[in-house]
Structure 1
Protein backbone atom coordinates (compact mmCIF):
# COMPACT_ATOMS: atom_id res chain seq x y z
CA UNK A 1 0.00 0.00 0.00
CA UNK A 2 1.25 3.48 -0.87
CA UNK A 3 1.89 5.49 2.28
CA UNK A 4 1.57 9.02 0.88
CA UNK A 5 1.45 11.23 -2.19
CA UNK A 6 3.87 14.15 -2.40
CA UNK A 7 3.23 16.83 -5.02
CA UNK A 8 5.94 19.40 -5.64
CA UNK A 9 6.03 22.92 -6.89
CA UNK A 10 9.13 23.34 -9.07
CA UNK A 11 10.42 26.91 -8.90
CA UNK A 12 12.21 27.64 -5.63
CA UNK A 13 11.80 23.99 -4.59
CA UNK A 14 13.36 21.86 -7.36
CA UNK A 15 15.40 24.63 -9.01
CA UNK A 16 16.73 28.00 -7.86
CA UNK A 17 14.98 30.72 -9.87
CA UNK A 18 16.40 33.74 -8.03
CA UNK A 19 18.71 34.43 -10.97
CA UNK A 20 16.28 33.40 -13.70
CA UNK A 21 12.51 33.93 -13.32
CA UNK A 22 12.94 36.64 -10.72
CA UNK A 23 15.74 38.26 -12.67
CA UNK A 24 13.46 38.23 -15.72
CA UNK A 25 10.72 39.92 -13.67
CA UNK A 26 13.17 42.67 -12.67
CA UNK A 27 14.39 43.09 -16.27
CA UNK A 28 10.82 43.30 -17.55
CA UNK A 29 9.66 45.85 -14.99
CA UNK A 30 12.75 47.94 -15.66
CA UNK A 31 12.10 47.77 -19.42
CA UNK A 32 8.43 48.76 -19.18
CA UNK A 33 9.06 51.58 -16.70
CA UNK A 34 11.62 53.02 -19.14
CA UNK A 35 14.48 52.23 -16.79
CA UNK A 36 12.97 54.13 -13.87
CA UNK A 37 12.34 51.19 -11.55
CA UNK A 38 13.99 47.81 -11.10
CA UNK A 39 12.36 45.76 -8.32
CA UNK A 40 14.58 44.00 -5.82
CA UNK A 41 14.08 40.39 -4.74
CA UNK A 42 12.48 41.81 -1.60
CA UNK A 43 10.02 43.87 -3.69
CA UNK A 44 9.07 40.73 -5.60
CA UNK A 45 8.69 38.75 -2.37
CA UNK A 46 6.31 41.37 -0.96
CA UNK A 47 4.15 41.06 -4.07
CA UNK A 48 4.24 37.26 -4.00
CA UNK A 49 3.27 37.33 -0.31
CA UNK A 50 -0.16 38.60 -1.39
CA UNK A 51 -0.79 35.07 -2.61
CA UNK A 52 -2.29 35.83 -6.03
CA UNK A 53 0.74 36.58 -8.22
CA UNK A 54 1.95 33.08 -9.04
CA UNK A 55 2.11 33.94 -12.76
CA UNK A 56 5.36 35.87 -13.28
CA UNK A 57 4.07 37.68 -16.38
CA UNK A 58 1.14 38.99 -14.37
CA UNK A 59 3.46 39.81 -11.47
CA UNK A 60 5.67 41.84 -13.81
CA UNK A 61 2.68 43.70 -15.20
CA UNK A 62 1.38 44.44 -11.71
CA UNK A 63 4.71 45.89 -10.59
CA UNK A 64 4.76 48.14 -13.67
CA UNK A 65 1.24 49.34 -12.92
CA UNK A 66 2.04 50.00 -9.27
CA UNK A 67 5.14 52.00 -10.18
CA UNK A 68 3.16 54.33 -12.44
CA UNK A 69 0.31 54.56 -9.93
CA UNK A 70 2.86 55.80 -7.39
CA UNK A 71 3.67 58.55 -9.91
CA UNK A 72 0.03 59.65 -9.89
CA UNK A 73 -1.19 57.84 -13.01
CA UNK A 74 -4.22 55.57 -13.29
CA UNK A 75 -4.05 52.20 -15.00
CA UNK A 76 -6.11 53.49 -17.88
CA UNK A 77 -3.45 56.16 -18.45
CA UNK A 78 -0.74 53.51 -18.88
CA UNK A 79 -0.15 52.14 -22.36
CA UNK A 80 1.04 48.62 -21.57
CA UNK A 81 0.89 45.84 -24.17
CA UNK A 82 0.68 42.59 -22.23
CA UNK A 83 1.80 40.40 -25.14
CA UNK A 84 4.86 42.60 -25.68
CA UNK A 85 5.61 42.27 -21.96
CA UNK A 86 5.37 38.47 -22.20
CA UNK A 87 7.60 38.38 -25.27
CA UNK A 88 10.23 40.51 -23.55
CA UNK A 89 10.11 38.37 -20.40
CA UNK A 90 10.51 35.18 -22.42
CA UNK A 91 13.41 36.67 -24.41
CA UNK A 92 15.25 37.03 -21.11
CA UNK A 93 14.20 33.77 -19.52
CA UNK A 94 14.51 31.47 -22.54
CA UNK A 95 16.64 33.60 -24.84
CA UNK A 96 16.03 34.99 -28.30
CA UNK A 97 16.13 31.66 -30.19
CA UNK A 98 12.92 29.68 -29.59
CA UNK A 99 14.57 26.47 -30.81
CA UNK A 100 17.79 26.63 -28.80
CA UNK A 101 17.43 28.26 -25.41
CA UNK A 102 20.28 30.44 -24.23
CA UNK A 103 18.54 32.52 -21.55
CA UNK A 104 18.52 32.53 -17.78
CA UNK A 105 16.86 29.10 -17.64
CA UNK A 106 20.12 27.52 -18.75
CA UNK A 107 21.95 28.45 -15.55
CA UNK A 108 19.42 27.52 -12.86
CA UNK A 109 21.02 25.53 -10.01
CA UNK A 110 19.27 22.33 -8.98
CA UNK A 111 18.00 22.05 -5.40
CA UNK A 112 17.74 18.25 -5.28
CA UNK A 113 19.13 15.11 -6.94
CA UNK A 114 17.50 12.29 -8.92
CA UNK A 115 18.23 9.96 -5.98
CA UNK A 116 15.78 11.94 -3.86
CA UNK A 117 12.86 10.77 -6.02
CA UNK A 118 14.24 7.23 -6.26
CA UNK A 119 14.27 7.12 -2.46
CA UNK A 120 10.63 8.21 -2.29
CA UNK A 121 9.61 5.46 -4.72
CA UNK A 122 11.54 2.82 -2.78
CA UNK A 123 9.61 3.87 0.33
CA UNK A 124 6.20 3.44 -1.34
CA UNK A 125 5.66 7.21 -1.68
CA UNK A 126 4.02 8.43 -4.90
CA UNK A 127 5.12 11.78 -6.32
CA UNK A 128 4.26 14.32 -9.01
CA UNK A 129 4.43 18.03 -9.85
CA UNK A 130 2.04 20.99 -9.99
CA UNK A 131 3.77 24.12 -11.24
CA UNK A 132 2.90 27.55 -12.56
CA UNK A 133 5.75 27.25 -15.07
CA UNK A 134 5.08 26.52 -18.72
CA UNK A 135 5.15 22.80 -19.46
CA UNK A 136 8.29 22.78 -21.59
CA UNK A 137 10.11 24.95 -19.04
CA UNK A 138 9.15 22.50 -16.28
CA UNK A 139 10.24 19.50 -18.37
CA UNK A 140 13.54 21.25 -19.12
CA UNK A 141 14.54 20.68 -15.50
CA UNK A 142 12.61 17.48 -14.70
CA UNK A 143 13.63 15.53 -17.78
CA UNK A 144 16.59 17.52 -19.08
CA UNK A 145 18.49 18.04 -15.83
CA UNK A 146 17.12 15.48 -13.36
CA UNK A 147 16.55 12.73 -15.95
CA UNK A 148 13.22 11.78 -14.41
CA UNK A 149 10.87 9.61 -16.43
CA UNK A 150 7.14 8.85 -16.28
CA UNK A 151 6.50 12.33 -14.88
CA UNK A 152 3.03 13.27 -13.64
CA UNK A 153 2.83 17.03 -14.17
CA UNK A 154 0.30 19.83 -14.38
CA UNK A 155 1.72 23.10 -15.67
CA UNK A 156 0.56 26.57 -16.72
CA UNK A 157 -1.15 25.46 -19.94
CA UNK A 158 -3.02 22.60 -18.30
CA UNK A 159 -5.05 24.05 -15.43
CA UNK A 160 -5.98 27.31 -13.68
CA UNK A 161 -3.17 28.99 -11.79
CA UNK A 162 -2.55 28.65 -8.07
CA UNK A 163 -4.07 29.01 -5.53
CA UNK A 164 -6.79 27.17 -7.49
CA UNK A 165 -6.19 23.51 -6.50
CA UNK A 166 -7.47 21.95 -9.74
CA UNK A 167 -3.95 21.03 -10.86
CA UNK A 168 -3.22 19.46 -7.49
CA UNK A 169 -6.38 17.37 -7.68
CA UNK A 170 -5.55 16.22 -11.21
CA UNK A 171 -2.02 15.13 -10.27
CA UNK A 172 -3.41 13.16 -7.33
CA UNK A 173 -6.07 11.51 -9.50
CA UNK A 174 -3.43 10.38 -11.96
CA UNK A 175 -1.17 8.99 -9.23
CA UNK A 176 -3.62 7.40 -6.83
CA UNK A 177 -4.71 3.79 -7.32
CA UNK A 178 -8.49 3.54 -7.05
CA UNK A 179 -8.29 1.02 -4.23
CA UNK A 180 -6.27 3.47 -2.12
CA UNK A 181 -8.33 6.63 -2.41
CA UNK A 182 -7.86 9.25 0.31
CA UNK A 183 -4.12 8.62 0.58
CA UNK A 184 -2.55 11.45 2.62
CA UNK A 185 -1.19 14.25 0.41
CA UNK A 186 1.68 16.65 0.99
CA UNK A 187 2.10 19.68 -1.26
CA UNK A 188 5.53 21.28 -1.20
CA UNK A 189 6.00 24.92 -2.22
CA UNK A 190 7.96 28.07 -1.52
CA UNK A 191 5.29 30.78 -1.86
CA UNK A 192 2.12 31.89 -0.14
CA UNK A 193 0.12 30.92 -3.26
CA UNK A 194 1.45 27.35 -2.96
CA UNK A 195 0.24 27.05 0.63
CA UNK A 196 -3.09 28.73 -0.14
CA UNK A 197 -3.52 25.94 -2.69
CA UNK A 198 -3.34 23.35 0.08
CA UNK A 199 -5.75 25.37 2.22
CA UNK A 200 -8.30 25.44 -0.61
CA UNK A 201 -7.82 21.73 -1.25
CA UNK A 202 -8.60 21.01 2.41
CA UNK A 203 -11.81 23.01 2.17
CA UNK A 204 -12.95 21.17 -0.97
CA UNK A 205 -11.87 17.66 0.11
CA UNK A 206 -11.93 17.62 3.93
CA UNK A 207 -12.09 13.83 4.04
CA UNK A 208 -8.41 13.57 3.01
CA UNK A 209 -5.36 14.40 5.13
CA UNK A 210 -3.58 17.41 3.58
CA UNK A 211 -0.17 18.66 4.71
CA UNK A 212 1.31 21.93 3.46
CA UNK A 213 5.12 21.89 3.40
CA UNK A 214 6.93 25.19 2.96
CA UNK A 215 10.49 25.44 1.66
CA UNK A 216 12.58 28.59 2.00
CA UNK A 217 13.95 29.49 -1.45
CA UNK A 218 17.72 30.05 -1.72
CA UNK A 219 17.58 33.86 -1.84
CA UNK A 220 15.70 33.84 1.49
CA UNK A 221 18.15 31.43 3.10
CA UNK A 222 20.88 33.93 2.26
CA UNK A 223 18.93 36.86 3.72
CA UNK A 224 19.18 38.24 7.26
CA UNK A 225 17.43 36.53 10.16
CA UNK A 226 14.52 38.97 10.31
CA UNK A 227 13.67 38.49 6.65
CA UNK A 228 13.98 34.70 6.90
CA UNK A 229 11.67 34.64 9.90
CA UNK A 230 9.17 36.93 8.20
CA UNK A 231 9.10 34.74 5.09
CA UNK A 232 8.63 31.61 7.19
CA UNK A 233 5.81 33.20 9.16
CA UNK A 234 4.03 34.14 5.91
CA UNK A 235 4.21 30.51 4.75
CA UNK A 236 2.91 29.28 8.09
CA UNK A 237 0.02 31.77 8.09
CA UNK A 238 -0.88 30.60 4.58
CA UNK A 239 -1.11 26.97 5.69
CA UNK A 240 2.34 25.40 6.07
CA UNK A 241 2.46 22.69 8.73
CA UNK A 242 6.25 22.74 8.56
CA UNK A 243 8.83 24.98 6.84
CA UNK A 244 12.14 23.48 5.71
CA UNK A 245 15.39 25.03 4.54
CA UNK A 246 15.64 22.69 1.57
CA UNK A 247 13.61 20.00 -0.14
CA UNK A 248 15.81 17.03 0.75
CA UNK A 249 15.04 17.57 4.44
CA UNK A 250 11.62 16.12 3.53
CA UNK A 251 12.82 12.53 3.89
CA UNK A 252 10.56 9.44 3.80
CA UNK A 253 10.87 9.30 7.61
CA UNK A 254 9.80 12.95 7.91
CA UNK A 255 6.88 12.34 5.53
CA UNK A 256 5.67 9.41 7.62
CA UNK A 257 6.00 11.54 10.77
CA UNK A 258 3.91 14.33 9.21
CA UNK A 259 1.05 12.00 8.24
CA UNK A 260 1.00 9.94 11.41
Structure 2
Protein backbone atom coordinates (compact mmCIF):
# COMPACT_ATOMS: atom_id res chain seq x y z
CA UNK A 1 0.00 0.00 0.00
CA UNK A 2 0.97 3.65 -0.27
CA UNK A 3 3.30 4.57 2.60
CA UNK A 4 1.80 6.96 5.15
CA UNK A 5 2.40 8.18 8.69
CA UNK A 6 -0.46 8.45 11.20
CA UNK A 7 -0.32 10.74 14.23
CA UNK A 8 -3.10 10.53 16.82
CA UNK A 9 -4.48 13.05 19.25
CA UNK A 10 -5.32 11.38 22.56
CA UNK A 11 -8.24 13.07 24.31
CA UNK A 12 -11.53 12.28 22.59
CA UNK A 13 -9.72 9.95 20.18
CA UNK A 14 -7.84 7.37 22.26
CA UNK A 15 -9.82 7.89 25.48
CA UNK A 16 -13.23 9.31 26.30
CA UNK A 17 -12.70 12.46 28.37
CA UNK A 18 -16.35 13.51 28.52
CA UNK A 19 -16.59 12.56 32.19
CA UNK A 20 -13.01 13.43 33.14
CA UNK A 21 -11.29 16.41 31.53
CA UNK A 22 -14.60 18.00 30.60
CA UNK A 23 -16.09 17.26 33.99
CA UNK A 24 -13.04 18.78 35.69
CA UNK A 25 -13.36 21.81 33.42
CA UNK A 26 -17.00 22.29 34.38
CA UNK A 27 -16.17 21.78 38.08
CA UNK A 28 -13.46 24.42 37.85
CA UNK A 29 -15.63 27.01 36.15
CA UNK A 30 -18.36 26.36 38.70
CA UNK A 31 -15.91 26.73 41.59
CA UNK A 32 -14.42 30.02 40.40
CA UNK A 33 -17.79 31.56 39.52
CA UNK A 34 -18.88 30.87 43.10
CA UNK A 35 -21.27 28.13 41.92
CA UNK A 36 -23.21 30.60 39.78
CA UNK A 37 -22.39 28.99 36.41
CA UNK A 38 -21.55 25.49 35.26
CA UNK A 39 -20.88 25.18 31.51
CA UNK A 40 -22.77 22.54 29.55
CA UNK A 41 -21.22 20.19 27.01
CA UNK A 42 -22.54 22.51 24.30
CA UNK A 43 -20.95 25.53 25.99
CA UNK A 44 -17.58 23.75 26.01
CA UNK A 45 -17.94 22.61 22.40
CA UNK A 46 -18.78 26.14 21.29
CA UNK A 47 -15.66 27.48 22.98
CA UNK A 48 -13.45 24.79 21.48
CA UNK A 49 -14.96 25.38 18.02
CA UNK A 50 -13.05 28.67 18.05
CA UNK A 51 -9.97 26.54 17.49
CA UNK A 52 -7.64 28.07 20.09
CA UNK A 53 -8.76 26.52 23.39
CA UNK A 54 -7.06 23.13 23.26
CA UNK A 55 -5.62 23.63 26.76
CA UNK A 56 -8.43 22.88 29.23
CA UNK A 57 -6.83 24.97 31.99
CA UNK A 58 -6.89 27.99 29.70
CA UNK A 59 -10.39 27.07 28.52
CA UNK A 60 -11.56 27.00 32.14
CA UNK A 61 -10.11 30.43 32.76
CA UNK A 62 -11.68 31.84 29.61
CA UNK A 63 -15.15 30.56 30.49
CA UNK A 64 -14.80 32.07 33.97
CA UNK A 65 -13.86 35.43 32.49
CA UNK A 66 -16.72 35.26 30.01
CA UNK A 67 -19.23 34.50 32.73
CA UNK A 68 -18.23 37.55 34.73
CA UNK A 69 -18.38 39.65 31.56
CA UNK A 70 -22.02 38.62 31.16
CA UNK A 71 -22.54 39.98 34.67
CA UNK A 72 -21.17 43.37 33.65
CA UNK A 73 -17.65 42.98 34.99
CA UNK A 74 -14.80 43.69 32.59
CA UNK A 75 -11.94 41.20 32.73
CA UNK A 76 -9.56 44.12 33.04
CA UNK A 77 -11.20 44.95 36.38
CA UNK A 78 -10.17 41.69 38.04
CA UNK A 79 -7.50 39.05 37.60
CA UNK A 80 -7.87 35.35 38.10
CA UNK A 81 -5.04 33.34 39.63
CA UNK A 82 -4.18 30.92 36.85
CA UNK A 83 -2.14 28.61 39.08
CA UNK A 84 -5.07 28.27 41.47
CA UNK A 85 -7.28 27.32 38.50
CA UNK A 86 -4.76 24.69 37.39
CA UNK A 87 -4.41 23.29 40.91
CA UNK A 88 -8.15 22.96 41.40
CA UNK A 89 -8.60 21.38 37.97
CA UNK A 90 -5.86 18.84 38.68
CA UNK A 91 -7.35 18.02 42.10
CA UNK A 92 -10.45 16.88 40.25
CA UNK A 93 -8.82 15.26 37.25
CA UNK A 94 -5.89 13.50 38.94
CA UNK A 95 -7.08 13.55 42.54
CA UNK A 96 -5.50 14.98 45.67
CA UNK A 97 -2.60 12.50 45.90
CA UNK A 98 0.08 13.43 43.31
CA UNK A 99 1.64 9.96 43.49
CA UNK A 100 -1.43 7.73 43.48
CA UNK A 101 -4.07 9.18 41.20
CA UNK A 102 -7.67 8.69 42.30
CA UNK A 103 -9.43 11.36 40.23
CA UNK A 104 -11.60 11.31 37.13
CA UNK A 105 -8.68 10.06 34.99
CA UNK A 106 -9.03 6.62 36.57
CA UNK A 107 -12.45 6.05 34.98
CA UNK A 108 -11.82 7.10 31.37
CA UNK A 109 -13.19 4.57 28.86
CA UNK A 110 -10.72 3.60 26.14
CA UNK A 111 -11.73 4.24 22.53
CA UNK A 112 -8.98 2.14 21.00
CA UNK A 113 -7.60 -1.35 21.60
CA UNK A 114 -3.91 -2.34 21.24
CA UNK A 115 -4.72 -4.75 18.39
CA UNK A 116 -5.66 -1.76 16.23
CA UNK A 117 -2.19 -0.25 16.49
CA UNK A 118 -0.69 -3.69 15.86
CA UNK A 119 -2.78 -3.83 12.69
CA UNK A 120 -1.27 -0.56 11.49
CA UNK A 121 2.26 -1.75 12.26
CA UNK A 122 1.71 -4.99 10.35
CA UNK A 123 0.59 -2.91 7.37
CA UNK A 124 3.83 -0.92 7.52
CA UNK A 125 2.19 2.26 8.79
CA UNK A 126 4.26 4.14 11.41
CA UNK A 127 2.21 5.83 14.13
CA UNK A 128 2.68 8.15 17.08
CA UNK A 129 0.90 10.71 19.24
CA UNK A 130 0.66 14.50 19.48
CA UNK A 131 -1.52 15.66 22.37
CA UNK A 132 -2.22 18.74 24.41
CA UNK A 133 -2.39 16.53 27.51
CA UNK A 134 0.45 16.62 30.00
CA UNK A 135 3.08 13.93 29.46
CA UNK A 136 2.09 12.25 32.73
CA UNK A 137 -1.57 12.12 31.75
CA UNK A 138 -0.78 10.91 28.22
CA UNK A 139 1.57 8.22 29.49
CA UNK A 140 -1.08 7.09 31.97
CA UNK A 141 -3.30 5.98 29.11
CA UNK A 142 -0.62 4.95 26.61
CA UNK A 143 1.64 2.99 28.95
CA UNK A 144 -0.49 1.97 31.91
CA UNK A 145 -3.81 1.41 30.13
CA UNK A 146 -2.74 0.34 26.62
CA UNK A 147 0.61 -1.21 27.51
CA UNK A 148 2.59 0.64 24.85
CA UNK A 149 6.35 0.76 25.25
CA UNK A 150 7.90 4.20 24.66
CA UNK A 151 5.70 5.27 21.74
CA UNK A 152 6.53 8.49 19.91
CA UNK A 153 4.73 11.14 21.95
CA UNK A 154 4.75 14.92 21.80
CA UNK A 155 2.83 16.21 24.84
CA UNK A 156 2.00 19.57 26.41
CA UNK A 157 5.49 20.11 27.81
CA UNK A 158 7.16 19.40 24.47
CA UNK A 159 5.58 21.93 22.09
CA UNK A 160 3.27 24.94 21.88
CA UNK A 161 -0.45 24.23 22.07
CA UNK A 162 -2.54 23.52 19.00
CA UNK A 163 -3.30 24.88 16.48
CA UNK A 164 0.45 25.55 16.38
CA UNK A 165 1.79 22.63 14.27
CA UNK A 166 5.21 22.40 15.95
CA UNK A 167 4.29 19.28 17.93
CA UNK A 168 2.82 17.57 14.89
CA UNK A 169 5.94 18.28 12.86
CA UNK A 170 8.11 16.99 15.72
CA UNK A 171 6.17 13.72 16.00
CA UNK A 172 6.51 13.17 12.26
CA UNK A 173 10.25 13.87 12.40
CA UNK A 174 10.76 11.39 15.24
CA UNK A 175 8.98 8.65 13.30
CA UNK A 176 10.98 9.43 10.15
CA UNK A 177 14.20 9.05 12.12
CA UNK A 178 13.04 5.93 13.93
CA UNK A 179 11.96 4.14 10.75
CA UNK A 180 14.48 5.77 8.39
CA UNK A 181 11.71 7.20 6.21
CA UNK A 182 11.99 9.66 3.37
CA UNK A 183 10.38 13.04 4.02
CA UNK A 184 7.73 12.47 1.37
CA UNK A 185 5.20 10.16 3.03
CA UNK A 186 1.63 11.49 3.41
CA UNK A 187 0.73 12.52 6.97
CA UNK A 188 -2.63 11.85 8.61
CA UNK A 189 -3.43 13.60 11.89
CA UNK A 190 -6.42 12.13 13.71
CA UNK A 191 -8.21 14.51 16.07
CA UNK A 192 -11.59 15.47 17.47
CA UNK A 193 -11.43 19.26 17.59
CA UNK A 194 -11.25 22.26 15.31
CA UNK A 195 -7.83 23.04 16.76
CA UNK A 196 -6.59 19.63 15.58
CA UNK A 197 -7.74 20.33 12.03
CA UNK A 198 -6.23 23.82 12.11
CA UNK A 199 -2.90 22.28 13.14
CA UNK A 200 -2.99 20.19 9.97
CA UNK A 201 -3.70 23.28 7.85
CA UNK A 202 -0.74 25.08 9.41
CA UNK A 203 1.54 22.08 8.94
CA UNK A 204 0.56 22.08 5.26
CA UNK A 205 1.48 25.75 5.02
CA UNK A 206 4.82 24.99 6.69
CA UNK A 207 5.59 22.12 4.29
CA UNK A 208 3.35 22.23 1.19
CA UNK A 209 5.54 19.68 -0.63
CA UNK A 210 3.83 16.71 1.03
CA UNK A 211 0.26 15.57 1.69
CA UNK A 212 -1.26 16.54 5.06
CA UNK A 213 -4.69 15.12 5.87
CA UNK A 214 -6.88 15.92 8.85
CA UNK A 215 -9.03 12.98 9.95
CA UNK A 216 -11.87 13.91 12.28
CA UNK A 217 -13.26 11.63 14.98
CA UNK A 218 -16.56 12.25 16.76
CA UNK A 219 -15.99 12.19 20.53
CA UNK A 220 -18.57 10.09 22.40
CA UNK A 221 -20.32 13.06 24.04
CA UNK A 222 -21.55 14.38 20.68
CA UNK A 223 -22.90 11.01 19.53
CA UNK A 224 -25.92 11.13 21.84
CA UNK A 225 -28.23 12.63 19.20
CA UNK A 226 -28.23 12.69 15.41
CA UNK A 227 -28.44 16.48 15.45
CA UNK A 228 -25.30 16.91 17.56
CA UNK A 229 -23.44 14.31 15.49
CA UNK A 230 -24.29 16.10 12.27
CA UNK A 231 -23.47 19.54 13.63
CA UNK A 232 -20.12 18.47 15.10
CA UNK A 233 -19.20 16.58 11.94
CA UNK A 234 -19.99 19.63 9.84
CA UNK A 235 -17.82 21.78 12.13
CA UNK A 236 -14.84 19.43 11.75
CA UNK A 237 -15.25 19.28 7.96
CA UNK A 238 -15.48 23.05 7.76
CA UNK A 239 -12.20 23.19 9.69
CA UNK A 240 -10.53 20.93 7.12
CA UNK A 241 -11.27 17.29 8.00
CA UNK A 242 -11.15 15.14 4.88
CA UNK A 243 -13.37 12.56 6.59
CA UNK A 244 -15.11 12.27 9.96
CA UNK A 245 -15.32 8.86 11.67
CA UNK A 246 -17.39 7.54 14.56
CA UNK A 247 -14.40 5.79 16.11
CA UNK A 248 -10.65 5.98 15.54
CA UNK A 249 -10.50 2.27 14.74
CA UNK A 250 -12.57 2.93 11.63
CA UNK A 251 -9.36 4.35 10.16
CA UNK A 252 -8.18 0.99 8.86
CA UNK A 253 -5.12 0.41 6.67
CA UNK A 254 -7.47 0.06 3.70
CA UNK A 255 -9.16 3.37 4.55
CA UNK A 256 -5.75 5.05 4.88
CA UNK A 257 -4.73 3.77 1.48
CA UNK A 258 -7.92 5.18 -0.07
CA UNK A 259 -7.38 8.57 1.56
CA UNK A 260 -3.76 9.04 0.51
CA UNK A 261 -4.42 8.28 -3.16
CA UNK A 262 -7.22 10.86 -3.45
Structure 2 distance, partners of 1:127, 1:233, is: 26
Give the match's secondary structure for 1:10. coil
Q: Decide whether the 8 Å contact of 2:2 with 2:260 is kept in 1.
A: no
Superposed structure 1 runs of 4+ greater than 6 Å apart: none
Partner of 1:182: 184
Residues 13-61 of structure 1, C-alpha deviation per residue, up to 9 Å, x if partnerless?
0000000000000000000000000001110000000000000000000
Structure 2 distance, partners of 1:184, 1:239, is: 16
Q: Decide whether the 8 Å contact of 1:6 with 1:188 is kept in 2.
A: yes
Q: Decide whether the 8 Å contact of 2:16 with 2:219 is kept in 1.
A: yes
Partner of 1:240: 241
Per the TM alignment, residue 2 of structure 1 is displaced from its structure 2 partner at its CA by: 7.6
Per the TM alignment, residue 178 of structure 1 is displaced from its structure 2 partner at its CA by: 4.7
Q: Decide whether the 8 Å contact of 1:2 with 1:124 is kept in 2.
A: no
Count of aligned positions: 259
Structure 1 distance, partners of 2:86, 2:78, is: 17
Structure 2 distance, partners of 1:53, 1:35, is: 22
Partner of 2:204: 202
Partner of 1:37: 37
Partner of 1:250: 251
Give the match's secondary structure for 1:242. strand
1:168-179 equivalence runs, <5 A: 168-176=168-176, 177-179=179-181
Residues 169-221 of structure 1, C-alpha deviation per residue, up to 9 Å, x if partnerless?
11111101455221111000000000000011111111011111000000011
Partner of 1:132: 132
Give the match's secondary structure for 1:129. strand
Partner of 1:23: 23
RMSD of the alignment, in Å? 1.1
Partner of 1:74: 74
Q: Which runs of 5+ in 2 are unaligned?
A: none
1:58-207 equivalence runs, <5 A: 58-176=58-176, 177-207=179-209
Structure 2 distance, partners of 1:77, 1:31, is: 20
